[in-house]
Structure 1
Amino acid sequence: MSTPAEYFWSLPPVSKTFGVACFMTTAAYYLNLYDAESIALFYGLVFKRLQVWRLITNFFFLGPFSFPFAVRLIMIAKYGVSLERGPFDKRTADFVWMLIFGALSLLVMAVVPYLWSPFMGISLVFMIVYVWSREFPDARINIYGLVSLKGFYLPWAMLGLDLIFGNPLKPDILGMVAGHLYYFLTVLHPLAGGKFKFNTPLLVHKIVAYWGEGTQINAPVQSNPSAGIIFKGRSNRLGGNQTTTRSTSQETSGINASSPQQQNQGDGIAFRGRSYRLNK
């Protein structure tokens, strides 16, 4: 049985990074290290005061420590990891692009005042759940050990639970819209014979390659060989001269040892000499 540390390091990089970022953001808020309004999405402050970080930071706040927060974090750990290890296996850049596309779609929808929300992280998590439900429609899931249903109906079941618990439904619905838009452009439209190909931009491939984590099949760029390396320089093996001398002597002895074998290549031959055909 693996330890919690082994389980953590075994998680795929993108889901692990997103989950840790959400947890650390809430932990810092719990310790009163910042005010939640300083990272919320307010377009007036983004355009008038150039507080562009709000376009990113609002996705990492899933609310204060509570039962709904734990459920959202479990969704990342279960369904995000399942996607990254399943349909997006060896497609790290494509998975990153899915999250970026979802975030951009949610930001566009948030321009409409009725659809605006100060924190869009819950919608992004629900987008992950929706894409998982389309990729694993026949998977059997249990909700709190009470209801068993197919994976295709998971988003609707979670929507019903939020309705029962009194949680807002608008973030869930926006996440479903963003997830369906991504799934339509990447899966449904190509299957229908559409000529438009919704490919991952080259910039995303370069970012993932520079990051040095994960893999990408048929990546247009090569991974950064210096990613994660603190010191680069010439390396010398301790006792290198002794190793070289030892290997040289072994090679020399190997050459000498092979000489008798070359000399005795004729061993096993009963008669050696000139041959004559009878009745010639």
Structure 2
Amino acid sequence: MSTPAQYYESLPPVSKFYGVACLMTTSALYLGLYDPWNIALSYEDVFKRFQQVWRLIINFFLLGPFSPSFAIHLIMIARYGVLLEKGPFDKRTADYVWMLIFGALSLLVMGAIPFLWTPFMAGSLVFMIVYVWSREFPNAQISIYGIVTLKGFYLPWAFLALDLIFGSRLMPDIIGMIAGHLYYFLTVLHPLAGGKYVFKTPLWVHKLVAYWGKGIQVNSPVQRDPSAGVAFQGRSFRLNGNRTRTSTPSEQERQAQANSSAASQPSSGDGVAFRGKSYRLSS
């Protein structure tokens, strides 16, 4: 049995950050530190009053007041977000961050349509995470409240049915599923069907992850910021895309031996020196 502190430390960085940010936002609301409508998504305030651009970001961190619905969404992050980050996105921290950013951008575009608009889209983003997990683990066995057992592929639909039973709005869940399917189509289904994979994680996302030094990114196109507190693991690349490679002492010794062997070989009879590497026939 692990303690709460040990469990917290075991969480991957992105899911940990998002879950804690949502918890702190709701806690501040409970303490009455702000009016929720000051952070609600309002395109009129964003585009007519450019000083309120924060509405495009902060609305993704409010899961609502403390309630059973808030607890369920937080459990979704702690369960399915963590499974995604430790599973298909293992050693791909920047790719996971880009998935969330793409989901948020997709939801903002859909929110511009009046009948799809919702003031707080954190629930939709969480539902996108659940949908992507269901496509990555379609055959996983899931038990809902210990009553119904179903495959992971049907999990989003089960949550949708529960929201219908409890009288919650269905539109945030639906647009979250649409954003999740769009991401899965562009990254998995379309390439598998023979299409060209063009949905690459932008360089600035890799730089952001490298700057903060959080998580792991294999084949990262940038080097870790040396001022970051946590080592950015993975292979090292120069900013111009060329892979940097440092020779180990053993490699240098072998190279020196090879050059010495090549220099000691006599030149061929035609007077032209053989300038390639020399090997014995027995090797």
1:195 offset after TM fit, Å? Answer: 1.6
| In 2, Cα distance between equivalents of 1:189 and 1:34 | 44
Q: 1:113 maps to which residue?
A: 114
- Could you tell me which amino acid in structure 1 is paired with residue 202 of structure 2? P
Measure, in 1, the Cα distance between the counterparts of 2:196 and 2:157: 31
Q: Specify which structure has the bigger relative contact order, considering alpha-carbon pairs within 8 angstroms and separated by 6 or more residues.
A: 1
- What per-residue deviation string (whole Å, max 9, x for no partner) do you get for residues 77-112 of structure 1? 000000000000000000000000000000000110
Report the aligned-residue RMSD. Answer: 0.8
Unpaired stretches in structure 1, ≥5 consecutive residues: 230-280
Identity of aligned residues (%): 75
Say if 2:93 is the partner of 1:100. Answer: no
In the alignment, what sits opposite 1:224?
225
Query: Offset of 1:224 from its aligned partner?
Result: 1.2
| 1:2 equivalent in structure 2 | 2
Contact map agreement 2:187 2:197 (CA 8 A) in 1: no
- Map of 1:44 onto structure 2: 44
Which residue of structure 1 aligns with residue 32 of structure 2? Answer: 32
Counterparts of 1:122 and 1:221 in 2: how far apart (Å)?
A: 33
Deviations 1:8-29 (Å, cap 9, x if unpaired)? 0110000000000000000000
> Which moves more between the two structures, 219-228 or 52-61?
219-228
Deviation at 1:70, TM superposition (A): 0.1
Deviating above 2 A after TM superposition, structure 1's stretches of 4 or more consecutive aligned residues are none
Distance, in Å, in 2 between the alignment partners of 1:117 and 1:167 is: 13
Structure (1 or 2) with the larger CA radius of gyration: 1
Matched residue of 1:149: which SS? strand
| Separation of aligned partners in 2, 1:195 and 1:7 | 40
Gaps of 5+ in 2: 231-283
Partner of 2:194: helix, strand, or coil? coil
Counterpart residue type for residue 126 of structure 2: V
Deviates more, 1:220-229 or 1:135-144: 220-229
Instruction: Measure, in 1, the Cα distance between the counterparts of 2:224 and 2:216.
Output: 9
Q: Distance in 2 between the 1:181 and 1:209 partners? A: 27
What is the letter of the counterpart of residue 188 of structure 2? Answer: V
Distance in 2 (alpha carbons) for counterparts of 1:44 and 1:103: 18
Q: State how far apart, in whole Å, the 2-side matches of 1:17 and 1:217 are.
A: 21
Letter in structure 2 aligned against 1:199: K
The 5-angstrom pairing of residues 1-280 of structure 1 reads 1-50=1-50, 51-228=52-229
Q: Secondary structure in 1 aligned to 2:205?
A: helix
Question: Partner letter of residue 43 of structure 1?
Answer: Y
Secondary structure of the corresponding residue to residue 130 of structure 1:
helix
Q: Alpha-carbon deviation of 1:187?
A: 0.3
Aligned match of 1:244: none
Q: After superposition, give the CA deviation of every residue in 1:55-91 in whole Å (9 maximum; x if it has no partner).
A: 0000000000000000000000000000000000000
TM-score by length of 2: 0.80
Other structure's SS at 1:96 match = helix
The separation in 2 between residues aligned to 1:86 and 1:196, in whole angstroms, is 21
Distance 1:228 1:89 in 2: 20
Distance 1:89 1:24 in 2: 26
Structure-1-length-normalised TM-score: 0.81
Match of 1:175, SS?
A: helix
2: CA distance, partners of 1:146 / 1:225: 51
- Alignment partners' CA distance in 1, 2:21 and 2:187: 27
How far is 1:196 from its partner?
3.9
